[in-house]
Structure 1
């Protein structure tokens, strides 16, 4: 370990040791990358995403309260509804009209169960192919949810619920930008069927099952947006970071902590996922156009070339912006980029500059390419050192 790196670790430790965290100083340090040693990144992300307050003395009570709240969500939205499913096993004369699957009341528990299954099937399909280039999400967690696996709770896990349902999931042919398949060509293809995954023994849970539960609870608590394809790519790096925390006391609660950090992050970027807001000033269309207007200011020749070829920003920037670049790079690079994005005090304005920097850094290839080559280049961004991208984005920021 270099002396400079040791010095950076000491700087973070000094800031995090204070009774009240100096947020400005923490942002400044984090912008240049957060060391992974000692769980520093996990702790910093929790602060930068407003999960932990700046006053250290309140951390213990707040964490206990939030983690208990999450357990309550599990009991109310997974375990208890699962008991309704168990009504299939009671005698016919004991089944009330409210309990009956054919009850036409839209507010009935069965109708809610069936609607939840439609959302769950989409979540399940997406989380099973999370980060297929690494095995982490297919491996069992050291901390399966004991509340969920308690044999006293007569219910089916979400995985079994998906396997047992007779509903058919519909293949999503196109995303909102009109481009098929939101996955990145850099990443290996995921298995196509449930049978291609190793079946874990009872009492075990794979990490993807934990992510599935987080997204399901989020969808239940946020019916206005529910679940939109791509949210799995947002929660994945968060959960991976917290679930690999070297501090076991933090790692044990990765699920609950990820849920609240994801919820806070979504509160800031959820407009990107709401189609009705696309053309508003807070919507994704405005942000994509902002990438091009920034490019025009910084490199008018490249801007005119893309305009001449009718390469619209939604052809590539939609995915870049909506998913915070989580599908353009391998997971370690995504995590490094997110250090900087979470530290941005203007909340993701820097992401627009990062996207602009990505264009500028391949300008020679873009200037020399035709429409087909350039589209392929932009939809499958060449593997590069993300530090160069972040450095170029900082240069663009400083030149304003």
Structure 2
């Protein structure tokens, strides 16, 4: 009696996806449709290529591999120019917080032997100044913000060595990570910026319009749940989904699961918002029994502190809502 074929183990599937992604990235001209399909299933952590995949999906890197080095050099040079233009310099100095020495050519005509002409310095501009226009105060505030972000990341992710230790990856990419992250963030927000524009809040494309789309999506696929949630218990989407949408679910799951979700979000050729709404809708459907049995307070508590879930299954349900 012939034995039935053995189902591939999770580790084998991971290796298979990893090899397929590596093959896709090795082509002279990247096939973005193929890469999106592969990345939507999750980029294997062991491949060490997620940063490259995300840069391609966000449009930061061109499809032609031959242009990568030129484009990266151009963007990184542009970022240095942005820092020189917008970040405050210490008075009479040449260093920019987070930047490098020797980028003060634009101020050279005002500086002689490392000192500004007295006429260039306001009377209240000194190291202890708290004035809004004080360059010293701007430098201090900028440094405080960086320190606060660093503390928050370490506090939020104490179990991740990358954020809490001196990882070799962080050291080797120190010169470029800031510039690359900036431009990737710009590309990411380009498809979501209307949610953050206060003037558009009450329009069809603003955050309230986005929340309304989520409500309509839930009504389409589970009218009973939508009615109970919003009419019977009066738990409106803005009470829980505002955070889900504006923070791209980064507060609802652990870090590893968030990365997997973002693999899927960034794989949508039309931008992340539609996929994000389907994932939010799937989150509601997966806890429908508890929501249908709950009242205002219990449902609000549940959705503001979403329970641990199988991310693979969540994304599967979200994909079925297309």
TM range (shorter): 0.7 to 0.9
User: Is 1:83 matched up with 2:91?
Assistant: yes
Specify the structure having the higher radius of gyration (Cα): 2
> Is 1:279–1:286's contact at 8 Å kept on the other side of the alignment?
yes
> Is 2:89–2:135's contact at 8 Å kept on the other side of the alignment?
no
Q: Larger RCO: Structure 1 or Structure 2 (Cα < 8 Å, ≥ 6 residues apart)?
A: 1
> Is 1:84–1:109's contact at 8 Å kept on the other side of the alignment?
no
CA displacement 1:43-85 (0-9 Å, x = unmatched): 100100111000100001111222233233344444x612358
> Is 1:99–1:109's contact at 8 Å kept on the other side of the alignment?
no
What runs of 5+ residues in structure 2 fail to find an aligned partner?
1-9, 95-115, 126-130
In the aligned structure 1, how far is the partner of 2:149 from the partner of 2:18?
Answer: 36
User: Is 1:347 matched up with 2:271?
Assistant: yes
User: Is 1:49 matched up with 2:58?
Assistant: yes
User: Is 1:374 matched up with 2:314?
Assistant: no
> Is 1:280–1:286's contact at 8 Å kept on the other side of the alignment?
yes
In the aligned structure 1, how far is the partner of 2:53 from the partner of 2:282?
Answer: 26
Aligned 1:184-203 pairs, distance under 5 A: none
User: Which residue of structure 1 aligns with residue 289 of structure 2?
Assistant: 364
CA displacement 1:146-174 (0-9 Å, x = unmatched): xxxxxxxxxxxxxxxxxxxxxxxxxxxxx
- 1:28 offset after TM fit, Å? 1.0
Q: 1:138 to 1:25 in 2, by over 3 A?
A: same
TM-score (norm 1): 0.64
What runs of 5+ residues in structure 1 fail to find an aligned partner?
87-93, 143-242
CA displacement 1:362-388 (0-9 Å, x = unmatched): 000111111111111000000111111
In the aligned structure 1, how far is the partner of 2:17 from the partner of 2:194?
Answer: 35
In the aligned structure 2, how far is the partner of 1:379 from the partner of 1:25?
Answer: 36
User: Is 1:387 matched up with 2:312?
Assistant: yes
Kindly tell me the number of residue pairs found equivalent between the two proteins: 283
User: Which residue of structure 1 aligns with residue 67 of structure 2?
Assistant: 58
In the aligned structure 1, how far is the partner of 2:123 from the partner of 2:143?
Answer: 18
